A and B are shown apart, each in its own frame.
Chain A
Amino acid sequence: MASTSRLDALPRVTCPNHPDAILVEDYRAGDMICPECGLVVGTDENDLVPAFSFITAGDRVIDVGSEWRTFSNDKATKDPSRVGDSQNPLLSDGDLSTMIGKGTGAASFDEFGNSKYQNRRTMSSSDRAMMNAFKEITTMADRINLPRNIVDRTNNLFKQVYEQKSLKGRANDAIASACLYIACRQEGVPRTFKEICAVSRISKKEIGRCFKLILKALETSVDLITTGDFMSRFCSNLCLPKQVQMAATHIARKAVELDLVPGRSPISVAAAAIYMASQASAEKRTQKEIGDIAGVADVTIRQSYRLIYPRAPDLFPTDFKFDTPVDKLPQL
């Protein structure tokens, strides 16, 4: 019966006996219950009664999720949802405007066949652009299967940037793409700029510019990318087994530690490491294939590979099973 509503603000009421306990929302009855002692907590202290009593006196909370019956399978088309879509209070300010839905039945059409009360009045016109951007963010994230937490973070970032108005002149799509990039970084699963470019209509240059501007506007910073952040994704896309992925991670990390590739982008080093690991295993991949997945040119992979090739025996993990021995690795 725990609350599942999004990003709940902590209610100000607390259990008098356990002020630190976080109150649990009971959906069925609409109460807040203390998990320690079971007390139903309401605003009026005199009405405190234990939860197992049928008569509860705590304040009812208003459920702002969508109506429960949305998932019923028996009724095919008519969905008797009376409360509309779930509220999104934290992102758009106040969804409390009135909308008139499209009519059914004869009475809703006037003499010419046009519907009376046409076009539901634009709701929250102040945030029309923001809602549009949220839609765009959801679309972009959906293309690369990003989880909901990243999308939420992106929406929050966009809202902050939008309210600040310091980047008002820039295309909203560019800001949305940059926010998506930052959110992925902040969640510890960075996506390369090229990956974000692939799902956005904005150029890498513009996304990069907006990225820097947003960091400055929000006064945040992000962690530096490392080679290991991309290994699992690239290797999975190349259908490489776990052993090869682990070997590639090890190679890349060792190469950076030994400073064999100073000044090279971590993506290029990761791609070269994957190439080396895959060439040493049974699952060989060409430079072109790796370049396609990672978004680096194959000459770039070649350059980084040349730098790590001389120390190849030191870079592999000790328990790696070589299909092609180290000295027979391709030399480019």
Chain B
Amino acid sequence: MEGEETYLDLFLARCAAQDDLALPRSPLLSPIVPYDVYIPNSSNPETTFNSQLEEVTEISGNFSSVDLSFLPDELTQENKDQTVIRSKHETEENCKTESWQSRLPLPSQQDVDLVLNSSGGSSSHSHLHPGDANSAQRSPEKPHSLPLASITPMTPVTPVSECSGIVPQLQNIVSTVNLACKLDLKKIALHAKNAEYNPKRFAAVIMRIREPRTTALIFSSGKMVCTGAKSEEQSRLAARKYARVVQKLGFPARFLDFKIQNMVGSCDVRFPIRLEGLVLTHQQFSSYEPELFPGLIYRMVKPRIVLLIFVSGKVVLTGAKERSEIYEAFENIYPILKGFKKT
């Protein structure tokens, strides 16, 4: 999906820039790396790496600047499954090579990187994959011409058993924007296609467009709520389309303060879950009342996300303002859910 590609590319570009800045080794950038695995610049990182890694084939050139051009463009929805499966193997590989470096519990930032890495696809390119915390580890190698060429990347730290390899799919994005002009809802309802306006029921025009398939609530104050998009870019695009419609009707519409208010994602852990066990151990976060709702409502504190966990293994995550929050929340809950797998 085009939206996800742009998002990822932007994210990667940003992290690549940070990588460049972090070129001189500084352990401060990754405070969670334990000292015993810190690789000093002066020692021979190649030999240590070579001894540890089975798959070192060639010594590639100097990587002073990160080139993203050969990142795969296979971030479409259709390829998602394949990439997920493939990336699962890759992340396991990554995890194996990395586990000696730091046996750490999932730090949230690295989780994000790891997940993005899995969603990004092939590991052959992911040694360029930015991770702010990795930059310190990798930067010592950079001036010494990175021994690992195309295969095993420097992805963070999670041991094999904890990488989930599952990426939650975004299902709904709710955003608001201010058109900054008073609107005559009756005029809009009369002239616009696919608009409904029933002032006795609700004080806004409900407008729909087909591409991206979204619904907007347009209020007379000029504020608008856009719902139903599947990605941030789509939501923005749809909001712009609605603003254009309003503009074409003669109002001096602008596009101020576009903000994503809520993001909903869902995924499947592919095993049944013992909700009774989960509610017993995580009482302060969970609420499971089969009389009221068949799913368990888990209110995660950090990030502040609400997860609906069902017996079938389906998980719905909501309340996020950023995509990374959804990924982070899922990575946090996955090991917990694995502990309550029904045998």
Decide if A58 is an interface residue (CB 8 Å cutoff): no
Q: Is the CB of B290 within 8 A of A225?
A: yes
Q: Is the CB of B311 within 8 A of A193?
A: no
Q: Is the CB of B290 within 8 A of A266?
A: yes
Decide if A262 is an interface residue (CB 8 Å cutoff): yes
Tell me, in angstroms, the Cα distance from A192 to B289 when the chains sit together.
11
Q: Is the CB of B290 within 8 A of A259?
A: no
Query: 1/0 per position for B262-278, CB-CB distance to A under 8 A?
Result: 00000000001000100
Q: Is the CB of A265 within 8 A of B290?
A: yes
Tell me, in angstroms, the Cα distance from A193 to B288 when the chains sit together.
14
Please classify how large the interface on chain B is, using the bins under 10, 10 to 19, 20 to 34, 35 or more.
Answer: 10 to 19
Q: Which residues of chain B are within 8 angstroms of A332 by Cβ–Cβ distance?
A: none
Tell me, in angstroms, the Cα distance from A26 to B81 when the chains sit together.
79
Number of A-B pairs, beta carbon distance below 8 Å? 34
Please classify how large the interface on chain A is, using the bins under 10, 10 to 19, 20 to 34, 35 or more.
Answer: 10 to 19
Q: Is the CB of B276 within 8 A of A193?
A: no
Tell me how far the C-beta of A256 lies from the nearest C-beta in chain B, rounded to whole angstroms.
9
Tell me how far the C-beta of A189 lies from the nearest C-beta in chain B, rounded to whole angstroms.
15
Q: Is the CB of B292 within 8 A of A263?
A: no
Tell me, in angstroms, the Cα distance from A212 to B296 when the chains sit together.
13
Q: Which residues of chain A are within 8 angstroms of B288 by Cβ–Cβ distance?
A: 224
Q: Is the CB of A221 within 8 A of B283?
A: yes
Do A265 and B291 contact each other (CB < 8 Å), given the known contacts A224-B279, A259-B342? yes
Which residues of chain B from 277 to 306 have any CB-CB distance to chain A below 8 Å in the complex?
279-280, 283-284, 287-292, 294
Interface of B is mostly: loop
Tell me, in angstroms, the Cα distance from A211 to B290 when the chains sit together.
14
Interface of A is mostly: loop
Which residues of chain A from 253 to 284 have any CB-CB distance to chain B below 8 Å in the complex?
259, 262-267
Tell me, in angstroms, the Cα distance from A267 to B289 when the chains sit together.
12
Decide if B340 is an interface residue (CB 8 Å cutoff): no
Q: Is the CB of A262 within 8 A of B291?
A: no
Tell me, in angstroms, the Cα distance from A208 to B288 when the chains sit together.
12
Tell me, in angstroms, the Cα distance from A211 to B297 when the chains sit together.
14
Q: Residues of A at under 8 Å CB distance from B?
A: 192-193, 208, 211-212, 215, 221, 224-225, 259, 262-267
| Those 4 A-B pairs whose CB atoms lie nearest each other, nearest first | A263-B311, A265-B290, A262-B311, A208-B292
Apart from A262-B312, A265-B294: 10 A-B pairs, beta carbons within 8 A: A215-B287, A221-B283, A224-B279, A224-B280, A225-B290, A262-B272, A262-B311, A263-B310, A265-B291, A267-B291
24 contacts between A and B (CB under 8 A): A192-B291, A193-B291, A193-B292, A208-B291, A208-B292, A211-B289, A212-B289, A215-B287, A221-B284, A224-B276, A224-B280, A224-B288, A225-B291, A259-B342, A262-B311, A262-B342, A263-B294, A263-B310, A264-B290, A265-B290, A265-B291, A265-B294, A266-B290, A267-B290
